[in-house]
Amino acid sequence: MFSLKDKRIRMNWITLFLWAMVFFNMMPQRLHAEPQFVTIGSGDITGVYYPTALIIAKMINSKRDVYEVRAAAELSSGSVFNANAVLAGYMEFGLVQSDVQYQAINGQAKWKKKGPQKELRAVFSINHESVCLVAAVDAGINAITDLKGKKVNLGNPGSGQYRNAIDALLALGLKPKTDIDAQKARAAEAPVLLQDNRIDAFFCTVGHPSETLQNASTCERKVRFIPITGSGIDQLVADQNYYTRTTVPVAQFYPGAENSAAVETFGVIATLCTSASVPGHVVYAITKEVIGNFSEFKRQHPALGDLAKQDMLKGLTAPFHAGALKYFKEVGLK
């Protein structure tokens, strides 16, 4: 027969054993609930990419207990950098211009030596971006051909806008290395350079409204937006399916500029890219949160205001990531 003391000891051991079982059974669940951290490469702080990345990160972070994903927006030098960072595994997502996405997946431009980047994957498209040319009024520039002999900022070579500027110049018969005094400063620096008379004009590929363009059009040295048009541009858009015809809404967003009518130009589409190695559930979560709460997403920035859900599947030249494709099929978009 057990004594009362023995029974108490036995009950204590049984209790400890049961608590231990509960603890060890809960451990895998707790480990699984730890959120996976991802970064979203954006662009310059004055552009649309950075606030867009912040919006996506905020939306996914508000549901971190649901998706088990935590995100952060990261400043970067632009599309080319973002594509390379995603491919190298340094970042999980990156905002990339549609032309840069095309060049990477097909081994062109910056990837000519490396060859096709087959691991790149598309998630969804976002807003349209205009290739803008802003010139000081006192520089006597009224057309893109007037840039000859002028100091012109083309943008950071690590950005998509640098390639856009080169394409525009070549399409209209100007040689970037000899016909202009080419500068390579970041887009956010261009308005200050213009005001300091260190450049006469600058290119900028942006969604609207753009803080960079607002800064440029409200300073003491007056500016005008220059149309980027002509048969060469028509041929460029026809040859390269990632380019589209568009306009710069000067009167709506940049009333300080000398010209107030909409200015014709060409443009690209901002896209969210990732790598084939990023887990499907992570890509699915971001796709579902953004498109599943589409009205909220659009309200967060004026550049997103004209988006339609169907537009977010356009302008993508890389294959869809399986996680994004899964959501699109669930809601009948694909």
Please, where are the H alpha helices in 226-293? 231-239, 250-253, 280-292
- Rounded to a whole number of angstroms, the distance between the first and last alpha carbons of the chain is 73
DSSP type of residue 321:
P
Amino acid type, 195: Q
Q: Give tens-digit pLDDT for 130-176.
A: 999 999 999 999 999 999 999 999 998 878 899 999 999 999 999 99
Q: Looking at the DSSP assignment, which residues form a beta bridge with residue 181?
A: 151
pTM greater than 0.85: no
pLDDT tens figures, 27-71: 444 445 578 999 999 998 888 999 999 999 999 999 999 999 999
For the stretch 68-86, pLDDT in tens is 999 999 999 899 999 999 9
Rounded-to-integer distance, Cα 315 and Cα 54, Å: 22
Query: 224 and 212 in contact (C-beta within 8 Å)?
Result: no
